Structure 1
Amino acid sequence: MLQRSSRAYRRRRGRSGGVGIVAVAGLAALTLGWLVGLIRVPGIESPLPAAQAGIGGVPSARLEAAKASLASIPVKGRAPKTGYARTQFGQAWADTDRNGCDTRNDILARDLADPAFKPGTGDCVVLSGTLHDPYTGKTIDFQRGGRSADVQIDHVVPLSDAWQKGAQQWTAQKRLEFANDPANLRAMDGPANQEKGDGDLATWLPPNKPFRCEYAVTIVEVKASYGLWMTDAEHAKAADLLSACTAQ
């Protein structure tokens, strides 16, 4: 009788032990998913940078160059906005490269798919095209005229931000060149551009997360090239984003 009871006890213990192993394994899987950002727990953020793994990537050489450039960018407080006006950066969309087309049309022609041009303008005035907007992930049909503002040209480093972080000391010619530099310009969704305003990396990021690496790298490249500085919060955010970038 005692022997049979002992065998029954072992069978029950075996069954409960198996359930316990499954429960532990399930808990471990959930924990791992939370750690790498694949599973979200309401009110609790995953603690590892891998939670940002979806911000996209750039070629490895470019990424390493951006990290080196970031280390050389000065960190200072934001200067007063006093004296800022769009006119401080010269005529809007000037033809600084002297190709016969203003900068806005140059960027539209570069960034739109299948651009159509106004006859007689030498493939200069863009009438229509399709924007696959990297900032938002939207596809936008551009039509010149009443809907022109659906697609706007973004200064990746905003002019006002540049003014408060070094551009006040520039010559008028350098500010004009900066405002029309294709490296700092990109066509984007109009409402998203209005939402961005003069926000820097610490205050605004593209809604489309896979574009954030490219966006952060471009800002670092432009600021390093022009000798602009960053605030402590912007510099820290840039470092965080670059560390989460995927090297391609």
Structure 2
Amino acid sequence: MGMPRRASARLPVAVLAVVAVLAVIAVVTLSPTGGRTSPAAADRQTVAALLDRVTVVDRRVRVLGYDRDQFGGWTSGVTADGGYCTSREAVLITTFGRRPGSAGPPSCPDPGPSAVDVYTGRRISPGEVEIDHVVPLAAAWDHGAHAWPRDRRVAFANDLALNLVAVGGPVNQAKSDGTPGEWLPPGDGAVPCAYVARYLTVSVSYGLTVSDADAAASRRSCRL
């Protein structure tokens, strides 16, 4: 792996919490215009701040040994309203809301009928979505997760607050395990900038590195 040229510094807890909230809000409330609006000021500020803190390496080096099983499966837990859901189900409920009349606690409610895909602005239904890891698991492995204990990898793969979002299957498959230097949501405005704000929030929160190409793509996306 390329040698780090900017040392990572952990954000103070209060600052990191604010950054995380800004990034999450930005991604969840994207305009359904396919990214044809200007980057949000909050996202630009978030990206600029995080680029000063994340460790940047020359390039992504593929680390041997990656397997999806290294990050475990979907975990289960009780939601705020008492339902018992897997992480995947919880993302669907967050994205689509609860379908009126669906079974409630202690089972997991059924999701609503449709929502806006935050990457493309298109309407999507629960049956056609895939759960995207904002920082793909294979990319995380290459950028530092290979050295983590298993329980940390499982927590990362099931991080509802930062790293999981429901999107249309085709766009998730197009992304594959790409990082910002390899893939960005379509468009050249608000959507890509909000995406890299969240991507960098995850990377800094977990101490993962990013490549030179990722940092450059982040700056371009947010017009920095």
User: Is TM (by shorter chain) over 0.5?
Assistant: yes
* Residue of structure 2 equivalent to 1:224: 204
- Aligned: 1:192 with 2:171: yes
1:102 is aligned to 2:86 = yes
Aligned partners of 1:135 and 1:208 also within 8 Å = no
Q: What is aligned with 1:202? A: 181
The range that moved more, 72-81 or 129-138, is 72-81
Query: What TM-score do you get using the length of structure 2 for normalisation?
Result: 0.73
Instruction: Tell me the equivalent position of 2:53.
Output: 72
CA distance in 2, matches of 1:202, 1:212: 12
CA RMSD of aligned residues (A): 2.3
2:72 to 75, 83, 90: 90
Cα contact 1:63–1:242 (8 A) shared by 2: yes
Relative contact order (alpha carbons < 8 A, sep ≥ 6): 1 or 2 greater? 2
CA distance in 1, matches of 2:40, 2:214: 20
Q: CA deviation at 1:111?
A: 0.7
Q: Which stretch shows the higher mean deviation, 64-73 or 212-221? A: 64-73
Correspondence for 1:31 = none
Amino acid at match of 1:86: R
Q: Which has the larger radius of gyration?
A: 1
Task: Mark the runs of 5 or more structure 2 residues left unpaired by the alignment.
Answer: 1-34
Residue aligned with 1:188, SS = strand
The answer (yes or no) to whether the contact 1:56–1:212 under 8 Å persists in 2 is no
Cα deviations by residue, 1:73-118 (Å, 9 ceiling, x for unpaired):
1122323331111111112x212x5442100110000011553575
Compare the two structures and name the one with the higher helix fraction.
1
User: Percent of pairs identical after alignment?
Assistant: 34
- The count of corresponding residues between Structure 1 and Structure 2 is 183
Measured after TM superposition, the shift of residue 236 of structure 1 is 1.1
Equivalent-residue separation in structure 1 for 2:103 and 2:209 (angstroms): 44
Partner secondary structure for residue 115 of structure 1: coil
Aligned mates of 1:113, 1:101 — CA distance in 2 = 14
Query: Does residue 235 in structure 1 map to residue 219 in structure 2?
Result: no
Whole-Å separation in 1 of the counterparts to 2:62 and 2:193: 29
Contact 1:134/1:208 (8 A) holds in 2 = no
